[in-house]
Structure 1
Amino acid sequence: MSANVIGFALLLIGVFMLLSKIIRVKWRLAQRLFIPSSIIGGGIALLLGPDVFGQIMGLFGVDRFSESGLFTEAVLDVWSALPGLLISVVFAALFLGHRLPSIKEAFHVAGPQISFGMALGSGQYVLGLLLAFLVLGPLFGLPIISGTLIEIGFEGGHGTAAGMAATFEEFGFPEGQDLALGLATIGILSGVIVGIILINWGVRTGKTTQITDRDDLTVAEQAGLIEKEDRRRAGTLTVQQSSIEPLTLHFGLIACAVLIGWMILESLRWIEQQFWADSFELFAFVPLFPIAMIGGIIVQLLIQSFDKHEIVDQQLVERIQGFSLDVLIIAALGTLSLQAIAANIGPFLLLAITGLLWAVFAFLVLARRVMPDYWFERGLADIGQSLGVTSTGLILLRVADPDLKTPAYPAFGYKQLVLEPFFGGGLITAGSIPLIMSFGAGWFFGGMLALFIGSIAAGLLYFGKRKPLRVETKTS
């Protein structure tokens, strides 16, 4: 594959990014549903690909588009490789620029949130594996690892689903990636739609603490634009550009985090091969991205210890992370196989409905009993993330708590520091399939069930009975 092909494939993604943003600005339904532009761009790429445009042209007897649609096979090959590469960049940047709190500080503020979030993640495994045991395997003939798809697709999102392509392939379930990507798309859309419905319900029933009537966003906010008077720099110039471009510096930090993660993973694989590979293998199938996140934590600890001039800017890190995620989503959706989803439409719908019902049940029944204060705002952010991605949860929190007056935002952030290394693309997510195949689904199910019960018990019997935090609120 030539460098020109790779460059052209990347340029096409740039065109889809621009086109999708124009559509987002003009399309009212996309604005009301807060659909990210990257999802729109990926949808356009999918429509122009072999599974939609190619199939339509085939109905008219034109078969030359059946393999790659309006693109070439080489372009699709580049796109299919991008998600597995870029997800490591996204995860390596998760904690860079964020001060890592002490364990005591994080636990005090985010303890209830951690308990609730852990119950959401482990519950997705418990329900998914029950479906696999009772329905997906016996009725549809899917492998037992199909029970991991709810957590990988919903909690993990597009990046995680795309990043685990090699794992699905290795264990003989390649269509699992397409199902996970489809679930991730359903999750983002349903997360926003269900979240807005719950916010309106919370306002009518007095469950919200910050809004007494639905605060309509401005036209610019709905279109995803920022008013001129509210605009800020995308990052702070912390070093002289004559010495190094600040964006380059921050990319270098992320690159170091990824490389540290790679060295850790390769070391673990070497140790595994030396001592227990004949019995079972785990790290041989673990992708790089969750270990790259550990590399990011190590780099952040070094930054906190030695960055006396405070040259690391969180916003610049987030720009690199956001760019990588946008490219990843468009590339992943552009190479999504609708045929694989269509061939497994029954299991796909069962998994999607189960994941959605679990999130709504957890919010309406568990959240208020686990979190003694501001349960609506705190729980809303968590179910938004458990169905979509972190940004989905933050969007919903922004609507329910526009001035961020509740403890929901810091608690959500601290919870991420604890749970991200494990769920939603972390070690448990990445290792779930190898663990099931090595030790059996029963053992993994038992572990998740124990974690699920323990999280709920801790929430109900300890955090739920704790004295509420005293935080000044503002009602609008």
Structure 2
Amino acid sequence: MNWNFFYHIGIISFSLLLAALLRARIRFFQRFLIPAPIISGIFLLVFYNFIAPRWGLKNDFLGEIVYHLLNISFISMLLRVTGKQKTDRKAKRTLAANVTAVMGQYGLQCFFGLVMTAIMIATFKPDLFPAFGFTLPLGFELGPGQAYSIGIGWEKMGFRGASSVGLTMAAIGFLIGSFGGVVLINQGLKRGWIGKEHAQRINNKSVRTGFFSRLDTERPVGSYLSTDGESLDSLSYHIALVMATYLISWGFLTGLTALLNLIGPLGSDLAESLWGINFIFSAFCALGVKMIMRFFKVETTIDNATCNRISGLSVDMTVASSLGAISLVTVQGYWLPILILTLTGMFITLVILPWYCSRIYDDHQFFRMLVIYGTGTGTLPTGLALLRVVDQEFETPVATDYLYSVGIVFILAIPIILSINLPAFSVTRNNPMLFTLAIIISGIYMLASFISYLLIAKKRAFAKAGDLFYTE
């Protein structure tokens, strides 16, 4: 009998329980609002790198958990019945602002990652592989899965230790996303960037300790039943709905992969990249399933609160597993380039991102910035975990609005995805112009995002330019 799955799920669960207990008892964690999944992830990081190998356990399984739970979190969020999506001017403006903010991060991280790499090659590191610059957006913006898989391909092209460098950048991104996000939240409370109502809720004892009152009458309702348990339990119904949608997503992507393989090597490479961003197809399938349920007038069987619970479970386990899945490898000869890219990434995400996000949005500026910051340094669950600190039940439209923008972002990001190997090809094909072309493409993204920012932000574009976060 194979107990491998239950070994790892049990270990993750134990670490979450221990983290929740420490959050409830230790004032340091309460004061800085460090989420229990992040504390749990640190435990798993240490356990799987120093203790688990002695017992014959590897953290490979955690990477698979992260991959699937990310897709499940998207599905459970988008299956919620939120009414007809607004198409008024304000909704379109918010959608445009989300797309601009995210694409701005793609452009900034790609452009400055490559430029800093070019500077290092021209000065003190002439043997640095040109594709090194793309490890910044791969590790920060896309996450460990993409960074590792693309790094493996670069190793075949001559980039020694590319997969390890990618994982290292992803690990650094997660840490900056987790602890940097906590710093931003505390600064938001201190400087009034968060509205008074939400700030008061954050200061409640339950938010600080992580647990509600001992009295049942003082506990909020977590979900409602939409089915009679005599036939099928309500939780079983919702989990079945989520997993059936996930199976549809798998079938759709499998069929698309078969079609792309007919094109040849280019199509196969694109198909492999699409599996790395399966969460986008999962989101589309969730919207499709919800449309079908609305057509047959059975969408009332979906309980939004239950979907929130499933999404919460996915996000918590994903954040913890993501940190535990990182291997602490020693990347000899790359410590200084990694440090330079890390500092570059920190400036882009901790300074530039809050600056422009606070000026481009009309409402919920801090919340929207927090989601984009989390996804710009880690993965979507990182952004959702940070958002839940200030918006526990996703009462604001921030999370949903972001998910609706994902599809447009994916379409606009296709040229960058296709150009990801250009720096590597500049070596294998002995054509330095391909590296320059990659920089130009990234620069075009950055310039286009800046122009879009000016059109959306208008008078606020440079208002109070000396303030990190703009408030009216």
Q: What TM-score, normalized to structure 1?
A: 0.76
Structure 2 match to 1:26: 25
Q: Deviations over 1:313-365 (max 9, x none)?
A: 22222322322333333333333211246874433333332222123433564
In the alignment, structure 2 segments of 5+ residues that lack a partner are 156-161, 426-433, 461-472
For the structure 1 residues 309 and 171, does the alpha-carbon distance in structure 2 shift closer, same or farther, using more than 3 Å as the test?
A: same
Matched, 1:90 2:73: yes
- Larger displacement relative to structure 2 (93-102 or 183-192): 93-102
Structure 1 match to 2:269: 281
For the 8 Å contact 1:90–1:324, the answer to whether it is kept is: yes
For the 8 Å contact 1:385–1:393, the answer to whether it is kept is: no
For the 8 Å contact 1:381–1:396, the answer to whether it is kept is: no
Q: CA deviation at 1:312?
A: 1.0
In the alignment, structure 1 segments of 5+ residues that lack a partner are 54-67, 467-476
CA distance in structure 2 between the aligned counterparts of 1:25 and 1:258, rounded to whole angstroms: 35
Q: Deviations over 1:285-331 (max 9, x none)?
A: 33233322222222232233334451112222232232233333333
Match of 2:220 among 214, 232, 240: 232
Q: CA deviation at 1:22?
A: 0.9
Structure 2 match to 1:459: 453
CA distance in structure 1 between the aligned counterparts of 2:40 and 2:364, rounded to whole angstroms: 36
Q: CA deviation at 1:282?
A: 0.9
CA distance in structure 2 between the aligned counterparts of 1:347 and 1:81, rounded to whole angstroms: 29
For the 8 Å contact 1:129–1:445, the answer to whether it is kept is: yes
For the 8 Å contact 1:236–1:315, the answer to whether it is kept is: yes
CA distance in structure 1 between the aligned counterparts of 2:10 and 2:366, rounded to whole angstroms: 43
CA distance in structure 1 between the aligned counterparts of 2:366 and 2:63, rounded to whole angstroms: 39
CA distance in structure 2 between the aligned counterparts of 1:130 and 1:76, rounded to whole angstroms: 34
Structure 2 match to 1:56: none
Q: What TM-score, normalized to structure 2?
A: 0.77
Match of 2:444 among 428, 441, 450: 450
Structure 1 match to 2:470: none
CA distance in structure 1 between the aligned counterparts of 2:387 and 2:455, rounded to whole angstroms: 28
- Name the amino acid aligned to 1:461: L
SS across alignment from 2:407:
coil
CA distance in structure 2 between the aligned counterparts of 1:294 and 1:445, rounded to whole angstroms: 31
For the structure 1 residues 256 and 446, does the alpha-carbon distance in structure 2 shift closer, same or farther, using more than 3 Å as the test?
A: farther
CA distance in structure 2 between the aligned counterparts of 1:52 and 1:340, rounded to whole angstroms: 14
For the 8 Å contact 1:192–1:384, the answer to whether it is kept is: no
CA distance in structure 2 between the aligned counterparts of 1:418 and 1:341, rounded to whole angstroms: 38
For the 8 Å contact 2:38–2:178, the answer to whether it is kept is: no
- Name the amino acid aligned to 2:421: M
Matched, 1:101 2:85: yes
CA distance in structure 2 between the aligned counterparts of 1:294 and 1:240, rounded to whole angstroms: 29
CA distance in structure 2 between the aligned counterparts of 1:427 and 1:238, rounded to whole angstroms: 36
For the 8 Å contact 2:104–2:450, the answer to whether it is kept is: yes
The alignment-based identity, stated in percent, is 19
CA distance in structure 1 between the aligned counterparts of 2:413 and 2:18, rounded to whole angstroms: 33
Structure 2 match to 1:42: 41
Q: Deviations over 1:71-103 (max 9, x none)?
A: 323x54433432233333223334121436144
- 1:322-341 aligned at under 5 Å gives the runs 322-340=312-330
Q: Deviations over 1:430-475 (max 9, x none)?
A: 9955641278665554444333322222222344249xxxxxxxxx
Q: CA deviation at 1:189?
A: 0.7
CA distance in structure 2 between the aligned counterparts of 1:91 and 1:115, rounded to whole angstroms: 21
Structure 2 match to 1:63: none
SS across alignment from 1:237:
coil
For the 8 Å contact 1:38–1:326, the answer to whether it is kept is: yes
Aligned CA RMSD, in angstroms, stands at 3.9
Structure 2 match to 1:57: none
For the structure 1 residues 167 and 290, does the alpha-carbon distance in structure 2 shift closer, same or farther, using more than 3 Å as the test?
A: farther
For the structure 1 residues 348 and 429, does the alpha-carbon distance in structure 2 shift closer, same or farther, using more than 3 Å as the test?
A: farther
